[in-house]
Structure 1
């Protein structure tokens, strides 16, 4: 049993990815990972660099078809104009959008390999609360131990291993 934010009790399932002090536990393995530069936070805010406490459903997967084969039959390709809106004042805050886009947005198709494979969670999605923070992704790390902006990052081979094994109902569990 574990305690989620808000004090509710839940039981981790075998198919859940559970963050622990040693890494992410999934399917009998513990995989090294990094979290946000702001650490694990109970009260997530835009730009705080924190990884939010809670039970986050896996809601999608994106990949770069020019850099890797499709990791699962339900993964969607990242196109040249795909962006993620991170402007809390915009109606498309915390949603995938297409360029050209006037508001602040992060490019999903990056020059570096960070977003070659992205697993999406339901953090503050699909109806985002103002300034609660945009997307929490599972993605590739820059290097071991290097923090993210709030996402959870893995070695590329571990991220692909996870991607091929998550199922409908897999959750990311982040404990305080």
Structure 2
């Protein structure tokens, strides 16, 4: 666990050697900014999707994060209401396995 900083991002450029990996901004290639004004990533868990092994163009920056108002769709992530997320956090450990169906 670590707090999000303004210089944190996640590379979503499939032509980068850092595809689907955390990066430090500024970063030339395409990336998702983790510090957001809308607070969707105030709590974020990196899901084990296309992590090991990484496959280009198979998806990146797939997170469990806070939901938009009205649960508007994400771009492939899983989103929870912030209050539900806060209730889940104390039950998690490094050994926890989340199954998303």
TM-score by length of 1: 0.54
Which consecutive residues of structure 1, in runs of 5 or more, have no partner in the other structure? 1-74
1:153 aligns with 2:79: yes
Question: How far off its partner does 1:125 sit?
Answer: 0.8
Bigger fraction of residues in strand: 1
Alignment length, in residue pairs? Answer: 101
Computing the radius of gyration from Cα coordinates, the structure with the larger value is: 1
Instruction: Answer 1 or 2: higher relative contact order, Cα 8 Å, separation at least 6.
Output: 1
TM-score by length of 2: 0.91
2-structure distance, mates of 1:174, 1:89: 28
Aligned counterparts, 1:1-176, within 5 A: 75-175=1-101
Question: How far off its partner does 1:145 sit?
Answer: 3.4
Which consecutive residues of structure 2, in runs of 5 or more, have no partner in the other structure? none
Bigger fraction of residues in helix: 2
Question: How far off its partner does 1:118 sit?
Answer: 0.3
Moved over 3 A (4+): none
